[in-house]
Amino acid sequence: EVQLVESGGGLVGPGGSLRLSCAASGFTFSTYSMNWVRQAPGKGLEWVSSISSSSSYIYYADSVKGRFTISRDNAKNSLYLQMNSLRAEDTAVYYCARSHSSGWNDYWGQGILVTVSS
């Protein structure tokens, strides 16, 4: 059974940093691209970042470029999102999602809440 479990969320002040982790199991993690998708309270889904299976290709939404860094450790079956210079508008539930080779997200984690507030 495919499982994706996010951790590392919480409350942080504006300008602060957080590192999200996503532990993957039930599939061969090293062969899949992975994504982070977020959802602000009461709002729609927003794609944040993608990383290819071998980390060769990395993409970011303009809203987080230069502040967030996606990475992965295939030996540990883990995906990460380092979030720096956090802003109030980054407040959201962050989902880790597995990406099919053609781009759609076929499995999602339960999500982790990040709150940026003083």
Partner 1 sequence: DIQMTQSPSSLSASVGDRVTITCRASQGITNYLAWYQQKPGKVPKLLIYAASTLQSGVPSRFSGSGSGTVFTLTISSLQPEDVATYYCQECNSAPRTFGQGTKVEIK
Beta carbon nearer to partner 1, 62 or 89: 62
Residues 48, 58: Cα–Cα separation, whole Å:
11
Considering the complex, what minimum distance in angstroms separates the CB of residue 113 from partner 1? Answer: 13
The rounded distance, in Å, linking the Cα atoms of 110 and 93 is: 9
Cβ closer to partner 1: 16 or 113? 113
Looking only at residues 59 through 88 of this chain, which bind partner 1 when binding is defined by CB under 8 A?
A: 59, 61-62
| Calpha distance 86→72 (Å, rounded) | 21
Q: Is 100 in the site for partner 1 (CB under 8 A)?
A: yes
Tokens of 3: 């499982």
Does 44 help bind partner 1 (rule: CB under 8 A)? yes
DSSP state of 29: G
End-to-end Cα distance, the chain: 40
Distance CA 55, CA 33 (A): 8
The one among 109, 112, 114, 116 contacting partner 1 by CB under 8 A = 109
Q: State which residue, 50 or 78, has the beta carbon closest to partner 1.
A: 50
Should residue 105 be labelled a site residue for partner 1 when binding is judged by CB under 8 A?
Answer: yes
- Which residue in this structure is represented by tokens 């970042």? 49
Task: Compute how many residues bind partner 1; rule: CB under 8 A.
Answer: 21
The answer to whether residue 9 forms part of the interface with partner 1 (CB under 8 A) is no
